[in-house]
Amino acid sequence: MNNVPIMAGLILTGILFMIGVTGLLIRRNLVFILMSIEIMLNAAGMAFIVAASKWMQPDGQVMFIFILAMAAAEVAVGLALILQIFHKFKTLDADKLNNMKG
């Protein structure tokens, strides 16, 4: 029953984070990019919970609450931006939005 090594938990968070990074790099649609960012945030929070569980202290969980709040605010603003971009440029292709080149 108690044979789950801490390493496994951390590796799990690592895998989830890498999946998020991969999603960020390979998708061109802004919505999917934002989604991948959410996956990464979740994975990072999970790492905190794993640490809290190891030391049996609530600090990790407090950290996760903060991350959660921040993710919420960020998603709100990000989606608002996506709406504006869609209305202005009529596309959600991240590669098309390269006016800052050069």
Partner 1 sequence: MLSLLWIIIALPLLGFLLLAVSGKKLSRAVVGTVGVGTIGLSAILTIIIGISFISGLSHTKVYVQTLWQWFYVEGFSPSIAFHLDSLSMTFIFVITFVGFLIHLYSAEFMIDDEGYSRFFAYMNLFIASMLILVLADNLLLLYLGWEGVGLCSYLLIGFWYKDPANGTAARKAFIVTRIGDTAMAIGLFYLVMKFNTLNISTILLSAQHLWPVGSTMAFTASILLLGGALGKSAQLPLQTWLPDAMAGPSPVSALIHAATMVTAGVYLIARTNVLFILSPPVQTIVAVIGTLTLLLAGFSALTQYDIKRVLAYSTISQIGYMFLALGVGAWSAAVFHFMIHAFFKALLFLGAGAVIISLHHEHNMFKMGGLRKEMPVTFYTFLIGSASLAALPLVTAGFYSKDEIIWYSWSSAGGNPWLWIGAIMGAFITAIYTFRMVFITFYGEVKMKPEKKLSNLILIPLIVLAVLSIISGFIQTPSTLGGVSIFSSFLTSTLPEVIENHFSEGLEILFQVITAVLAISGIFIAYLFYVKRRPSERSHSAAVNFLLSGWAFDKIYDIIFVKPVVWMAEIDRHDFIDYFYTFIAWLTGLGHVVLKQTQTGKLRWYAMGLVIGAILTISIVLLS
Partner 2 sequence: MDVLFYISAGVAIGSSVMAITRKNAVHALLYLVVSLLSAAFIFYLFGAPFIAALEVIIYAGAIMVLFIFVVMMLNLGKDSERQEQDWMKPKIWIGPSFLVGILFIEFIIMLSGTGGSYFQFVKVSPREVGTSLFTSYVLGVEMTAMLLMSGIVGAYHIGRRKKKMRHRYLEGSDE
Residues that bind partner 2 (CB under 8 A): 1-12, 14-16, 18-23, 25-29, 31-32, 34-36, 38-39, 42, 46, 49-50, 52-54, 56-62, 64-66, 68-77, 79-84, 86-87, 92-93
89 binds, among partner 1, partner 2, none (CB under 5 to 8 A by kind): none
Is residue 44 within 8 A of residue 13, CB to CB? The reply is: yes
Q: Which stretch binds partner 1 (CB under 8 A): 48-56, 57-65, 78-86, 91-99?
A: 91-99
Query: Hey, which residues does 29 pair with through a beta bridge?
Result: 93
Surface-to-core class of residue 38, CB atoms within 10 Å of its CB (0-12 exposed, 13-18 middle, 19+ buried):
middle
- Over the window 25 to 64, marking each residue x when it contacts partner 1 by CB under 8 A and - when it does not, the resulting string is x--x----x-------------------------------
CA gap 10, 7 in Å, rounded: 5
Query: Quick check: 24 binds partner 1 (CB under 8 A)?
Result: yes
